[in-house]
Amino acid sequence: MEPKLPDFLNSAPCPELDDGHVLVWSGSLDLAPQALETCASILSPDELDRAARFKFEQDSNHFVAARGMLRFFLGFYTRCSPSELEFTYGDKGKPELIHASDTLKFNVSHSHGIGAWALGLVPLLGVDVEWTLRKVDLDRVGKRFFSENEWASLANLSAAERRAGFFNCWTRKEAFVKALGDGLSFSLKAFDVSTGNEAEITRIDGDQDPAKWALHAFEPWATYAGALAAVGQVQFHHFVLTDV
């Protein structure tokens, strides 16, 4: 099949995907009606059923957009019809493609109306985005979920700096846990990530080697934070979708 994206995504950058490369696209989930209908038309019955179970229409539409766009990106790079892609799910719910290369990994995240889609030829990857203006008790959540080292690096910052550092830390931790596919069974306090502008993993309990992991921060849009975690020496590319 000749790789092709739908009209509403035809301006999305889609470079060649080589070993060790990870591509991340971020953009709005508030699609025009025709684009949303296009996404819904390629979803599987179980995905449509999941969409129908959302209480609010906007949440349902965002799910359809996120899954539909994922299928279009995966279809483009696997040269398969997006509607014919089949997924399998790990014990903690992480999806993988059936009948795809073992090295082709993907992950999706969404927050407050935007999504991020990551795809790469790496052993493991995870992506997370968060809206940094949402209401959150930084002290309570930080003390509960962050490691001692992480919280110590945030505790003496000003309120504005602490909010930015908090979401840097949160997205990086979430991206790492999502890459592992262990859900919250891997304690968020069992590893340290940076809280400043430069993203890195500095400690992991157990047999994981932090040096084998790559961590990249990106800004999906203004007032959002994003992070990508992957195994290996990763070439990271982020594209903001402005026309969807």
Residue 20 in any domain: the answer is no
Domain-embedded: residue 81: yes
Q: What is the CATH number of the domain that holds 200?
A: 3.90.470.20
The SS3 assignment for 21 reads strand
| Residue 2 maps to a domain | no
To which residue do tokens 């080292």 refer?
149
Give the pLDDT mean for 57-76.
97
Q: Which domain holds residue 144?
A: 26-240
CA dist., res. 126 & res. 106, Å (int): 7
User: Which residue, 139, 153, 134, is CA-closest to 200?
Assistant: 153
Q: pLDDT band for position 186 (50/70/90)?
A: confident
Q: What is the pLDDT of residue 5?
A: 93
Reduced DSSP (H G I as helix, E B as strand, rest coil) percent helix, strand, coil of the chain, to 5 = 35, 25, 35
Asked whether residue 58 carries a pLDDT value surpassing 80, the answer given is yes
Does the structure show a pLDDT above 70 at 141?
Answer: yes
Question: 42 pLDDT exceeds 90?
Answer: yes
Least trusted range by pLDDT, from 6-15, 107-116, 153-162? 153-162
What integer pLDDT is reported at residue 154 of this predicted model?
93
The dihedrals phi and psi of 165, each to the nearest 5 degrees, come to -65, -35
Mean pLDDT of 129-156: 94
Would the pLDDT of 1 be above 70? no
Domain contains 52? yes
CA-to-CA distance for 42 and 44, rounded, in angstroms?
A: 7
Instruction: Examine residue 13 and state whether it is found in any structural domain, yes or no.
Output: no
Q: What is the mean pLDDT of residues 40-64?
A: 97
- Three-state DSSP at 27 gives strand
pLDDT tens-digit series, residues 90-130? 777 788 898 776 789 999 999 999 999 999 999 999 999 99
pLDDT tens-digit readout, 195-220: 999 999 999 998 889 999 999 999 99
Phi, psi at residue 111, to the nearest 5°?
A: -160, 125
pLDDT at 157 over 80: yes
Residue 82 counted as domain residue: yes
**Mean pLDDT confidence for 140-150:** 94
Q: Kindly list the distances between the CA atom of residue 60 and the CA atoms of 89, 139, 165, in Å, as whole numbers in the listed order.
A: 21, 32, 31
Split into its structural domains, the chain has a count of 1
Distance in angstroms (rounded) separating the CA atoms of residues 234 and 51: 34
User: Would residue 134 count as lying in a domain?
Assistant: yes
- CB of 193 within 8 A of CB of 201? yes
C-alpha 142, offset from chain centre: 21
pLDDT at position 73 over 90: yes
| Residue 158 lies inside a defined structural domain of this protein | yes
